[in-house]
Structure 1
Amino acid sequence: MAEHRIADLAQRLLGKPSAALDDEERRVLANIEAGTVVARDAADEADARSDFGDRLSDQVAAVGGSWGFIIAFSVVLFGWMLLNSDVLAHFGAAFDPYPYIFLNLMLSTLAAVQAPIIMMSQNRQAAKDRVAASLDYETNLRAELDILRLHEKLDAMVIARLDAIEAKLDDLASRA
């Protein structure tokens, strides 16, 4: 019975058969039929679909792309260079003297690991954006269909009222 009502709504409101509906349209029409809310939070949907690696890449990107990380990393680099150029070199114990070959290796390794993790986070953000767009479409479609249904009801009420007025006019005309 519900599938028949959904097919009727699809034909009446969208002008296409239920077989031609995409997933979002079918979900919206099912929610209209059930009388339930269609709006969902995109962030909650994306979090429900994420796994441990997705959440980890988001955290690494959040830390690696912050001013706190940049400042702390600059302090560590400056400290490393100062330590190996002046302090330890004074005692002849510099473990990475200028041109800081070991420091360059560490920086290259960090960049090689951090770049793909940040790209994974960007891909996840793009997936979140696609989920948000899909949910926005469903919400907008539901609002549009509800407005169409209200127009149908108002039109029916106006026609019924006009029919009643016409009947009264006919009755008055027949009495005169």
Structure 2
Amino acid sequence: MTPERDGTRERTVAGATAAGRARPRLDQPRPRRRRFLPEWDPEAFGRLSERIARFLGTGRFIVWMTVAIVLWVLWNVTAPRELRFDEYPFIFLTLMLSLQASYAAPLILLAQNRQDDRDRVNLEQDRKQNERSIADTEYLTREIAALRMGLGEVATRDWIRSELQDLVKEVDGRRDGHHEPAVFPAERSHGRDVDDR
């Protein structure tokens, strides 16, 4: 074989295509791509957004925001002119409030989306629990119905007592008329018990 052919064969064995590019190997992980954007943990970011949204919805935030705006306006109205940083139309204050609102709205929406996801999971679990409860209730209803049907065929204590009383009356009637031996051992005489032994 010529060296040129050997080189072609080596490239083909290594997994090269006809164009000369190596095919990616499926038995090895891909190399990590370089990212230009910073990476973050979505769960940690979601928890942070919920904390911020929860704080923005409190009275404490409104009080602190009001105090900051009042101090800002008072400083820029009453302080000496060279110490003022935002003159009367308060353009910088408007910019800061717009910036705060532009960040607050998406954070609140993100927190609401996470709460909606949690509510959806809870509703699904409640639905499954209700289905299990309904199935258990139907099963117990069928079992109770089967027990009732079975108990309809079982002799109760009152029925047995009335049957025994009828038998005793019948036996007493026969004994008085035909002199047959007593059916129950308790009615036998003590002398015959001793003779039987």
Structure 1-normalised TM-score?
0.61
Task: Indicate yes or no: 2:47 matched with 1:55.
Answer: yes
Residue identity opposite 1:162 in structure 2: G
Equivalent of 1:152 in 131, 142, 157: 142
Deviation string, structure 1 residues 114-170 (Cα, Å, up to 9, x no partner): 1000011111121122112112112211211111111121122122222345xx9xx
SS at match of 1:51: helix
Give per-residue Cα distances to partners, 1:45-81, cap 9 Å, x unaligned. Answer: xxxxx81122111101111111000010000001011
User: CA separation of 1:88/1:146 partners in 2, compared to 1, >3 Å: closer, same or farther?
Assistant: farther
Which among 120, 124, 143 is matched to residue 134 of structure 1? 124
**1:80-123: per-residue Cα shift (whole Å, max 9, x none)?**
1101111243xx32111111111111111111111000011111
Count residues in correspondence: 118
Structure with the larger RCO, 1 or 2 (CA within 8 Å, 6+ apart): 1
Question: Based on CA coordinates, which of the two structures has the bigger radius of gyration?
Answer: 2
In structure 1, what is the Cα distance between the partners aligned to 2:80 and 2:153?
Answer: 100
- Structure 1 residue runs without a partner (length 5+): 1-49
Match of 1:116 among 106, 128, 132: 106
TM-score by length of 2: 0.55
Q: Distance in 2 between matches of 1:108 and 1:149?
A: 61
Question: Corresponding residue for 1:70?
Answer: 62
Give the match's secondary structure for 1:145: helix
Aligned to 2:76: 84
Q: Distance in 2 between matches of 1:65 and 1:154?
A: 53
Identity across matched positions, percent: 34
The letter of the residue matching 2:51 is Q
**Segments of 4+ in structure 1 off by > 6 A?**
none
SS at match of 2:86: coil
Gaps of 5+ in 2: 1-41, 164-197
Cα RMSD after superposing both structures: 2.3
Q: Distance in 2 between matches of 1:83 and 1:144?
A: 67
C-alpha distance in structure 2 between counterparts of 1:161 and 1:70, whole Å:
70
Q: Comparing both structures, which one devotes a greater share of its residues to helix?
A: 1
Q: 1:152 to 1:88 in 2, by over 3 A?
A: farther
Tell me: CA distance 1:133–1:88, structure 2 relative to 1, closer, same or farther (3 Å).
farther
Match status 1:101 vs 2:91: yes
**Residue 80 of structure 1 aligns to which amino acid in structure 2?**
W
For 1:65 and 1:98, locate their aligned partners in 2 and report how far apart those are by CA, in whole Å: 30
